[in-house]
């Protein structure tokens, strides 16, 4: 009998369950949303919220405890088809996610049920997300919009540059007109000889 035994077995050994929980939590912190089955999501949710609570403390002891619980996986991004290290999971957890939830007393994640079923075993799929990621995405898009506007203003030439560019164009046209005029006179001289 399993009276008052917490947690799900998920048809795995205890080592496999622990590794799966760590992997899903690390992916959640890296991508801020993951798709998985409802049972796995419910197991990972409590673990992820405990880690975010540690990140809110921000102390060295809390950081070491989080590393012991989760591990410190690298975040790898691809730029120009090359793998580039962009940081670590613990670094992101303590520098971005912990400060984001300082005012929030709990409930850092949410489970959104999808109408999809997994192909193969027909498992019920859900999205496990970090709450409040939408605001940070909006801020990033606003910052990107401001950066592109600033870049566009910087790329616009000043009035003095426009004048010098216009003078160069006029000079280039005059040179080509002089060259083409000389060619026309040569062509006219050759044509009467042919007749």
Q: How confident is the model at residue 195 (pLDDT cuts 50, 70, 90)?
A: very low
Greatest alpha-carbon span in the chain: 116
Angle, vertex CA 38, rays to CA 34 and CA 40, nearest 5: 70
pLDDT at position 48, please?
Answer: 97
Instruction: Record the pTM.
Output: 0.68
The reply to whether 35 falls in a domain is: yes
CA distance 34 to 18: 18
The reply to whether 3 falls in a domain is: no
CATH of residue 78's domain is: 3.90.1030.10
Over pLDDT 70: what percentage of the chain?
Answer: 69
The first and second tokens of residue 116, run together, are 């999809």
Owning domain of residue 81: 14-131
pLDDT in tens, 41-87: 999 999 999 999 999 999 999 999 999 999 999 999 999 999 999 99
The reply to whether 99 falls in a domain is: yes
- 3-class secondary-structure state, position 11: coil
Report the mean per-residue pLDDT for the chain.
84
Q: What is the mean pLDDT of residues 83-107?
A: 95
The reply to whether 161 falls in a domain is: no
The reply to whether 81 falls in a domain is: yes
The reply to whether 156 falls in a domain is: no
Higher pLDDT, residue 86 or 193: 86
The reply to whether 74 falls in a domain is: yes
pLDDT in tens, 9-26: 999 999 999 999 999 999
Q: How confident is the model at residue 2 (pLDDT cuts 50, 70, 90)?
A: confident
Domain count, the chain: 1
Q: What is the mean pLDDT of residues 135-145?
A: 66
Number of H helices and E strands in the chain, helices first, is: 7, 5
The reply to whether 150 falls in a domain is: no
């Amino acid at each position: 009998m399993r009276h008052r035994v917490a947690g799900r077995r998920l048809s795995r050994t205890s080592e496999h369950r622990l590794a799966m929980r760590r992997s899903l939590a690390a992916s959640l912190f890296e991508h801020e949303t993951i798709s998985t089955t409802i049972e796995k999501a419910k197991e990972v949710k409590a673990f992820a919220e405990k880690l975010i609570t540690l990140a809110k403390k921000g102390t060295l002891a809390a950081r070491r405890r989080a590393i012991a619980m989760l591990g410190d996986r690298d975040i790898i991004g691809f730029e120009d088809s090359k793998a580039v290290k962009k940081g670590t999971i613990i670094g992101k957890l303590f520098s971005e996610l912990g400060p984001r939830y300082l005012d929030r007393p709990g409930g850092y994640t949410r489970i959104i049920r999808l109408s999809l079923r997994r192909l193969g075993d027909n498992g019920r799929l859900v999205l496990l997300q970090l709450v409040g990621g939408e605001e940070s995405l909006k801020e990033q898009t606003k910052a990107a919009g401001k950066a592109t506007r600033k870049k566009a203003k910087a790329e616009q030439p000043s009035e003095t540059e426009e004048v010098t560019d216009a003078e160069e164009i006029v000079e280039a046209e005059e040179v080509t007109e002089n060259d083409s005029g000389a060619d026309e006179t040569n062509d006219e001289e050759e044509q009467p000889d042919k007749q």
